[in-house]
Structure 1
Amino acid sequence: MSGSDHIREKDGIWAVLAWLSILAYKNKDNLSGEKLVTVEDIVRKHWATYGRHYYTRYDYENVDAGAAKELMAYLVKLQSSLGDVNKTVKGIHSDVSSIVHADEFEYKDPVDGSISKHQGIRYLFEDGSRLVFRLSGTGSEGATIRLYIEQYEKDPSKTGRDSQEALAPLVEVALKLSKMQEFTGRSAPTVIT
């Protein structure tokens, strides 16, 4: 057992050290008591230059396994008629981009080449946004539905918003399109990250 085995969650420690290194470099010529460059300063400048990827995840834990499987089957069925789905999307939130692709994705292990099918349902939007629905833990105690919502924003005037605010239109589309409350009986997720 090496010394590093005793430290749990080392990635967080390394991230802090990386940020400290960046801050030290950015402030090396500014130690005379003037305002120091902060992490927020660096991040906001980065967003202004390159844009920002907004992300959130909604977890619905201990959902009835049968209801969860029905929801996923419903999402698979929706893929066959993207024209109708896009009409529904525009009806829910008119300023959300159109869906250009939907699929049930699989994972191919790069080491052994094995393929894991039915890993989740993806809806990809014209502007690069995406919704991903994943089902896990369909045992006797219920299932977990994870909903991943991502959107890229290049307009510098919009990159400083709170993630939940920026993603609210896509969240609304995801929840209504999937009929999450109707299938699960849940009016809110268990966890939002």
Structure 2
Amino acid sequence: MTKRFWFSRLGVVVTLLAVLTSGATAADTPKVADEAKDFELSALGGEKVKLSKLTGAGPVVLVVLRGYPGYQCPLCTKQVAELVDKVDDFKKAGAQVVLVYPGPAEKLKEHADEFVKGKNVPANFTFLLDPDYAFTNAYNLRWDAKNETAYPSTFVIDSKRKIVFATVSKTHGGRAKVEDVLKAIPTK
């Protein structure tokens, strides 16, 4: 057998191992045209928030942050600041922005309070806690590796809970651009 044969077989094995060890695959995570699974999480203030109730009022921009993987993620901080900078554009589009902060239940609220400290969270933004990754696992967004929590993700969901925009990053970067998110929000 030739070297070429063995190298091609090695490539197949390496690719297969990469897929098997990477956690959720793109096919497993929510994508455009899927129905967004309903969920209920607690906001930072303790009130319960249900996706189906939010989408009943209009489109929802759902942003999954990394939570607290041992530090406050600077890319999440930057992403949230960029979203907040466009608060008027989200209001004009009639969209609610929902930020999900996942992590182990112990000290999750404390870490979330630290994340929002000094930030002006606008009225049309909702900051939700995902203790012990219940939502993250249901959406197949769990980045189950050392010092990781969830794949940073952004979804635009219409009033019928249909996903019309989806970006799931398998790295810390690769996040959805705010301009692209705004363009994806369905108009009335």
Range of TM-score over shorter length: under 0.3
**TM-score of the aligned structures, taking structure 2 as reference length:** 0.26
Larger Rg: 1
**TM-score of the aligned structures, taking structure 1 as reference length:** 0.26
Kindly indicate which of the two structures has a greater share of residues assigned to helix: 1
